[in-house]
Amino acid sequence: MITSIKDTLKNLVANIGTSRDKAAGSYYTNPCTDDAQLAAMYRAAWLPKKIVEIPALDACRKWRNWQAEADDITKIEDEEKRLGVKSKMLETKIKARLFGGAALYIGTGESDPSQPLRPESISVGGIKHLTVMSRRVLTPMELETDPLSERYNKPRAYMVTGSGIAVDIHPSRLVVSIGNPHPEPELAGGVDYGWGDSVLHACMEAVRNADATGANIASLIFEAKVDVLKIPNFMQGMADPEYRRLVLERLTLAATAKGINGALLLDKEEEYEQKSASFATLPDILLTFLQIVSGAADIPVTRLLGQAPGGLNSTGEADLRNYYDRIQSMQELDLQPSMQVLDECLIRSALGSRPPDLYYEWASLWQTTAKERAEIGKMTADTIKILGDSRLIPEEALSKSAINMLTENGVIPGLEAAVEEYGDELPEEPAQPTPEELAATLPEE
């Protein structure tokens, strides 16, 4: 006897898991949306626009802090401003999230962009321009099938089409950004080959339901109050055209009198009443749909809607911190690896060389209040004092570390520059008088 064991819930009485189950025929499909529909959603509806823009904007708005000599930092930041690195990365990320993919082309003035870009060959001013390209003009070529290659399962090259010309570009010359990556490139097919999905695909149904709910509530406002007039033998008289004309004239005069005088004149046998719609639960229903959109987009309601959190003792701080952690993960796991070649070229284009100890850190999105900065300053000063009293660290090393701590924590902005200008020597403490000197100062009895 063969027994089949299935780890699936089935209830013949309730039709759960059987062919009569209403959910038995449910399955997931890819949303049928083309670029024109995605662009229309982005331009015409505020929810899709925010879902696309907010994470991209938050990932770029505070940008990064370079750690190097002050002169080198100034040159690198000036080079970033000249090339518009920050704004163009934001544009690339927005287009990638909207259409599924985009890239930033590193223009170095070389005549053959199909050859690999070698950062070590870049001199001062070597980067001529940066150009944003969406996947509409940038076509991936065949995928790399060699498992020993670092570009395995990624396009070997890209082709730019437009104005009747086609130019091959090596992947090293592009900062490629993907919207929602495909689990397997072979499953993409069609125009999405080599790219990803729009971030709106996974949110499409939630956004559509929220927009439809809001539109229905707005339409219901026009039906908030309905006047009902009951006229004796109304349906019997409607067979006569003259009667219909008199009824319409009668109702017009009644509405005019009501609008001018606030009084409604009716026949003794006629009845009048008002029907009012209730809006008591509609805000909760709409908010529920918006919360579903928030979960689908992975953006807190406080950030997506720009409203204060509700409920007693609710600050929304935990939600924002979790969201900022997600943005930091996007910066470290997505932006930073994709910008590696660009950063190496940027450093050499600004300095002419690559200092080995130069690096950067992503700036924190969480902004501390004045009270929090004061508390951090006090704790930092206490820590420095304890370390100084312990004599475990040489004074010179502790002094430099203390200056860095106070500057990076924002306790004393500009301290490092001030110490460099005026010196870091502490004033000598005045000598303490001896007992004999103190006794000499006392008046004689």
418-428 pLDDT per residue, tens: 777 666 555 55
Q: Which helix (H) or strand (E) holds 427?
A: none
Q: Which residues of 90-127 are buried (b: 16+ CB within 10 A; e: fewer)?
A: bbbbbbbbbbbbbbbbbebeeeebeeebebeebeeebb
DSSP class of 217: H
Task: Say whether pLDDT at 379 is over 60.
Answer: yes
- With bands split at pLDDT 50, 70 and 90, how would you rate the model's confidence at 92? very high
**Residue at 313 is within a domain:** no
**Residue at 9 is within a domain:** no
> CA 231, 233, 235, 240 torsion: positive or negative?
negative
- The pLDDT value given to residue 208: 92
**Residue at 180 is within a domain:** no
What is the percent of the chain with per-residue pLDDT over 70, rounded to a whole number?
A: 82
**Residue at 251 is within a domain:** yes
**Residue at 271 is within a domain:** yes
Compute the CA torsion angle 286, 292, 297, 298 (nearest 10 deg): 120
| More confident site: 312 or 299 | 299
Stretch 403-417: mean pLDDT, rounded? 71
- The pLDDT value given to residue 308: 65
Stretch 301-329: mean pLDDT, rounded? 77
Task: Say whether pLDDT at 312 is over 50.
Answer: no
What is the percent of the chain with per-residue pLDDT over 90, rounded to a whole number?
A: 38
Task: Say whether pLDDT at 410 is over 80.
Answer: no
First to last CA, the chain: 121
| More confident site: 30 or 297 | 297
Stretch 372-383: mean pLDDT, rounded? 81
Both tokens of 16, joined, read 């759960």
**Residue at 394 is within a domain:** yes
Mean pLDDT of the chain: 83
User: Which region among 39-43, 72-76, 384-388 has the lowest average model confidence (pLDDT)?
Assistant: 384-388
The HSE-up count of residue 296 (CA atoms within 13 Å, CB side) is 23
Both tokens of 114, joined, read 């199909």
d(CA 129, CA 108): 7
Indicate the residue among 243, 276, 309 that finishes a domain: 276
- The pLDDT value given to residue 59: 94
d(CA 225, CA 15): 44
- With bands split at pLDDT 50, 70 and 90, how would you rate the model's confidence at 130? very high
**Residue at 324 is within a domain:** no
| More confident site: 166 or 330 | 330
Task: Say whether pLDDT at 71 is over 80.
Answer: yes
Stretch 86-110: mean pLDDT, rounded? 94
Task: Say whether pLDDT at 372 is over 50.
Answer: yes
Q: How many structural domains is the chain composed of?
A: 2
- The pLDDT value given to residue 21: 62
Alpha helices in 227-339 (DSSP H): 234-237, 241-261, 282-297, 301-305, 317-330, 336-338
| More confident site: 43 or 183 | 43
Strands 64-67 and 359-362: antiparallel
- The pLDDT value given to residue 445: 53
- With bands split at pLDDT 50, 70 and 90, how would you rate the model's confidence at 12? low
**Residue at 336 is within a domain:** no
Task: Say whether pLDDT at 3 is over 60.
Answer: no
Task: Say whether pLDDT at 405 is over 80.
Answer: no
User: Which region among 126-130, 131-135, 286-290, 403-407 has the lowest average model confidence (pLDDT)?
Assistant: 403-407
Residue 403: domain span: 370-422
Indicate the residue among 235, 259, 276 that finishes a domain: 276
Task: Say whether pLDDT at 292 is over 90.
Answer: yes
d(CA 20, CA 14): 9
Contact of 93 with 176, CB cutoff 8 Å:
no
Indicate the residue among 276, 307, 337 that finishes a domain: 276
- With bands split at pLDDT 50, 70 and 90, how would you rate the model's confidence at 432? low
